[in-house]
A and B are shown apart, each in its own frame.
Chain A
Amino acid sequence: MKNKWEDSLSALSVGQQFAQKVKDDARKDKIRRYAPLILLIVMTIIGAISQKNFFSWGNIVNIMYQMSIPLVISTGLMYVLLLGSIDLSIEGVMGFAGSFVAFLVINNSNDNDFGLLGILLVVLISTAVGALTGFLHVRARIATFIVSYAMGCIMTGAAVLVYRGTPIQVKDELFNVLSQGMLLGIPYLTLIAFAIFIIGALILNYTAFGRAVYAIGDNETAAASTGINIGLTKIKVFALCGCTAGLAGILQCIRLKLGQASLGTNQMFPVVTAIVIGGGSLSGGKGGALSAFVGVLIYTELVNWLTLMGVDPYVRKVIQGVIIIIAVTLTISRSRKTISK
């Protein structure tokens, strides 16, 4: 027996079917675009109802503070994901940046006192490492998955070499000020992280470079035919990602005051997940600054909420996983291979 839907389809011409499909896709796309925002609002409401402290100023500052580092990581990572690539070196670069910056500023193990200059040097090295990852990917044609993993290993090794087993404690007053100082009740660290993210978002949305990233992620061949320098753009993206990973490592070190390779451990995948929850796609071309921001906020709220709820640690991991799957199911795009593309 034919159902109603098939009846109506067969009554249409091919052209009408096509138009219908495009319309449907557009409608679904619209819903999907707002799904992460709706999810965020729902999460927030559930949080506020179930925990009276959720909306206290102290907790709001906590959430902003806790999303700082993921936000900085996401700044570079969203470009990489837009390309349809991945950067697995982020954790290694973070570990190295945190360890090396601890080595360069006032600390308990040597007489260095490079202060801001040290921070700048570490950012430059991280950027160069990212650029090298991009260069190897573009020139040696190694998949980003592999080349970035290898670079991550190298940087983790370099991080351990910096402190040779005993993590370096930071004693620099600058670091104390940055982690404990506040402006209008908001920690400096958070303000810095938001500033970095906003700069990244502006570059993505308002420069030719940003548009080129979208174009390459959407269709590399088409982008090349419009005269975009694919190789150079990719190298720039990885350099940017290295830069933000380095900054994230430095901020993590400011937060923890201890320079060690494990600063970066388990920092990357939550952010990848967050970006996907926010509407980004692992195959590229989809997402952007807003979706990265919303995703990171959803993820941070989730973790914060689970802490406030105080659920059993074993159950907690399960709940976290289940919520992530639900979130991604609600927000992920499934229409990539349809005729409207």
Chain B
Amino acid sequence: MKKRIIATLMAATLAVSMLAGCSNKGDAPKETTAAPAGDETQAPDGTTAAAGDETQAPDGTTAAAADNTGAGSEYHLAICIHSLDNEYWAQEAEGAKLAAAAYGVSADVLTCDSDDNKQLQGIKDYIAQYGDKAIFVVDPSSTANTANIADVCEESGNYVAILAHRADGLYPKDFPHFVASLMLDDIAIGKATAKALFDSIGGEGQVVELQGLLGDDSASNRHKAFEEALKDYPNIEVVDSQTASWSQADAMTLTEGWLVKYPDLKGIYSANDTMALGAVEALKNKNLNGQIKVSGCDGIEAALNAVKDGDMVITNANDGYMIAGYGASYAIQAAMGKLDPTALPDGERLIFCKTTLVTEENADDIINKFITTKNPGYDYNDLSFCVDKYQEN
């Protein structure tokens, strides 16, 4: 009896996952998840299969991109990200897939759910499967894990680009196969959004700050950026600064309290879009949206729409297509012999990527490029395009 129930459940799960699988776009390379044990992969849609079987199985959606051109078809790009349930990470995956398609390389998404071991094991499994034909673009599970990732890839001789984080003292120049580190300049971005917010309220008045999760890298950088921007605006008074831990609900609750306490509030600086949207909902309930200015960061779809509607003054599109797409391009070019990383000046392997500030004027354009078509039309062969500036050594 019990077994029958379990069997039914499993059958139902399978059926659901097959349906979910069918709804994938035809040109999307398949997505697999590396489990820590390495003997099981879980696609985000719930299918479970042995790693070897799954990746070798004739799969209609696999490597469709590789058929376009023959040049890089022997290579396999692993796109290592946290998970697909976050817009930005999903965008990174899309961007890296576009880049892979541009070079005719097949691509797989490995998710790690922010687990260091799972990510490393996934990379090792991929190397075991494809040997020196494996290429990696990695959004690391943690800053500390970047050193391990560089080591593993160096040892096996696989080219890797690492995104967004880099451990202290870890430099591509010490690793011939760690092609490049691509990061976002959180401070510059935070300053730009803060300044736009201050300008929108005429450079004076009461402002509050919604901080991200305490102790988090980005949260502390964006807070620092806010404080730096403040130095140029002596007439801005910061009446309170609280953490909403990246949460929309917490941000909404805090904002409701502030609206009672500070009737003269002019602006709300938020360290990310999700919290900014919480503030916007609190303002909407009091019919204050658009009057009290809100700034965000990240460029998630709902925030882009809020900017378009005038509920938010500004956000920054962090652009996963750029960072992951060009990160993948660096690694792919190195693997294909088009680029010799060791010949590059050391500083040019430490990159701050371009991002786009989004205001009412360009919101439509950004929504069209990043959300509607899911293809900003970048030329992934031109590596210099992604460089905003170089990181300091």
Which A residues lie at the B interface, using CB under 8 A? 51, 53, 56, 58-59, 62, 65-66, 108, 140, 157, 160-161, 164-167, 169, 179-180, 187, 252, 255-258, 261-263, 265-267, 303-304, 307-308, 310, 313-314, 316-317
Contact = CB atoms under 8 A, between A and B. Distances in A.
A308 B214 CA distance: 20
Contacts of B239: 310
Given A262-B247, A265-B247, A307 B253 contact: yes
Contacts, number: 97
B256 A62 contact: yes
Contacts of A51: 261
A161 to B, nearest CB: 7
Nearest to B241: A313
A165 B84 CA distance: 6
A169 B302 contact: yes
Contacts of B250: 266
B252 A165 contact: no
Across the A-B interface, give the 3 residue pairs with the lowest CB-CB distance, nearest first: A307-B257, A165-B90, A160-B85
B214 A165 contact: no
A310 B281 contact: no
B305 interface: yes
Contacts of A310: 239-240, 242, 261
Interface residues of B, number: 43
Contacts of B204: none
A164 B214 CA distance: 28
Given A256-B281, A257-B281, A58 B248 contact: no
A165 B28 CA distance: 15
B284 to A, nearest CB: 7
Given A255-B249, A262-B247, A313-B241, 4 more contacts: A62-B256, A167-B302, A179-B281, A308-B260
B156 to A, nearest CB: 31
Nearest to A69: B249
B114 to A, nearest CB: 14
Contacts of A165: 84-87, 89-90
A64 to B, nearest CB: 11
A131 to B, nearest CB: 14
B180 interface: no
Contacts of B393: none
Find the residue from A56, A140, A304, A313 having the highest chain B CB count within 10 A: A313
Interface of B: 2, 20, 44-46, 84-87, 89-90, 211, 214, 239-243, 245, 247-250, 252-254, 256-261, 274, 277-278, 281, 284-285, 300-302, 305, 371
Given A59-B260, A161-B20, A256 B252 contact: yes
B2 A140 contact: yes
Contacts of B240: 310
A166 B90 contact: yes
Contacts of B241: 313
26 contacts: A53-B261, A58-B259, A59-B257, A62-B256, A160-B84, A160-B85, A161-B45, A165-B87, A165-B90, A166-B300, A167-B87, A167-B301, A180-B284, A255-B252, A256-B248, A256-B252, A256-B281, A258-B248, A262-B247, A262-B274, A265-B247, A267-B249, A307-B254, A307-B258, A310-B240, A313-B241
Contact of A180 (B254, B274, B285): B285
Contacts of B252: 255-256
B258 A263 contact: no
B28 to A, nearest CB: 12
Nearest to A300: B253
A59 B302 CA distance: 28
Contacts of B305: 108, 169
Contacts of A187: 285
Given A256-B248, A313-B243, A66 B281 contact: no
Contacts of A258: 248, 277, 302
B367 to A, nearest CB: 11
A58 B256 CA distance: 9
Contacts of A261: 85
Contact of A53 (B2, B214, B260, B284): B260
Contacts of A140: 2
A98 to B, nearest CB: 10
